[in-house]
Each structure stands twice: as C-alpha cells, then as structure tokens.
Amino acid sequence: MRRRLTFHRLGRVPYGPTHALQQALVDARSRGAVGDTVLLLEHEPVVTLGRGARAGHVLLSREALAARGIELHETGRGGDVTYHGPGQLVVYPIVDLSPDRRDVRRYVRDLEEAMIRVAARWGVRAERIAGLNGAWVLARSPGESDRKIGAVGVRISRWITMHGLAFNVTTALDAFRLIVPCGIRDRGVTSLAQETGTEPDMRDVQDAFVEVLAELFEAEIEVRDGPPALPATGGVPPAAGAEVVEAPGIEPGSEAAPHRPLRA
C-alpha cells in the first residue's frame, strides 16, 4: 500500500505557534488521529537556539534583535544557533516512518536528496560534504568558500518525525551575519537566488519539493492551502521514557552531529 502525504501551505508564520502545531501533529500522528502531514512555510524573522547553542554565537542582544524585528526562541532541537526568515522555504514532515522506513540515516539522506534534486531543477549543483549535514554548493575557484544552500535536522519520537529541512530560496543572507551559524566560521551560506541571479518563485519551489518528496517516499500526494485540522486532544510532548533521536535542526551552516538517542 502506497503512502499518502498531505501537504499544507501555511504561508509566512511566526515560529512559536508553528512549533506548537508540530508538537500537536506529532501527538495526533502517534495516536493515528491524523495521517502523514507535511507543512510548507516561511517563518517571520527569528533566531533559534538549539540544545547545543553557545551564547557567544548570537552576536546581538535579545533587545537589539527585537529592535530589528527578529524574535529569539529556545527550541528542543539539536544543534546550535540559526536564523529563519522570509525567502527561506521550511518543510516540516510529520510522518510515521513505520513500518518500512525505520532508518534515521536514510530519512536524513532523503531530505538532503530532496534539496539536491530541487536545486538541480534551477541549474544549481548542490552536494553533500562528509561530516556536515545539508546541501552545499562547493567552491569552484580560488577565493570561494563552500556555501550551504539548505539544512536538514530531525527529531524522531516513536518513529514519528518532527522538524525537517530549510532551503534558502530568496533569503536575505545578511541576516546570518547576526549570528555564527552553528558555530561554523569557515563556510558560508547561499540561496537559489544568489546562485542563479534570478528571483525564483516560492510557490514553484514548493511545488518542486512536493514532487521530489513524493518520488522519494513513493507516495500519493494531496496539497492543501492552510493549516491542517487537529483533533480535540493533542499538543503534548513525547511521553517520559519515549525514545527520541535528534540531529542538528534546520539550520544553514550547522555542523552535523551523530544521530544520538536521548531520553524525553
């Protein structure tokens, strides 16, 4: 029986309520109250702090960020510090990997492969770098540095996925100068617009991800505008004792860490 993925286009949304929506969907999916769901969105400007965040990697105070219209949030994901904002496509799959896809490394590689294939549709060659997560445009000439076009990081509880990938489409890259993205100083970030010299349409990029993820997951698809309907009960974190697997979370420039089991 083929999987069915239901994609929801949310538009531009703040980080906090969207994180709460993910948690509610994870709970509902674990109870079988909803099917496999994928959220497609952009975030309002926000700096997020992962479990491994260092204070020195945020280069402005909370007040200074707020004066620029940028929120600051602590999260439960792995990794260090990142920026999300308009022009960056964020894809949050809330998917049950059971019974046939219970392989964390395969899942992470599938998300990386999705970004690589989408970049290729715009003529951009993205690749993996050993030891680092995400999709990278490698330096081709002296004076260039490798540039991250998209990141992938996941949290998996009882084989239900949370978080996902972030892909820079027309992102204002100057915003990354407000932080040390995941503590990596010797590599840069880039976007589809930066690499092509064009302004790709966000909806076209969303459509490309829908098609590529359907291929990778061998799934039937449905695409809807607006958030998914939730059952009456939901929105709780994993139960105590539930196995959780984390990887650095949705952050261009993040350094990949081993997928390590943690206790909720």
Q: Which residue numbers are catalytic?
A: 182
* Angle ∠(83,44,217) on CA atoms, nearest 5: 75
Give the integer Cα–Cα distance in Å for 192 and 199: 8
Sign of CA dihedral 83, 115, 245, 189: negative
The CA–CA distances, whole Å, from 218 to 14, 61, 101, 118 equal 31, 45, 11, 17
CB 25 within 8 A of CB 32: no
| DSSP assigned state of 80 | S
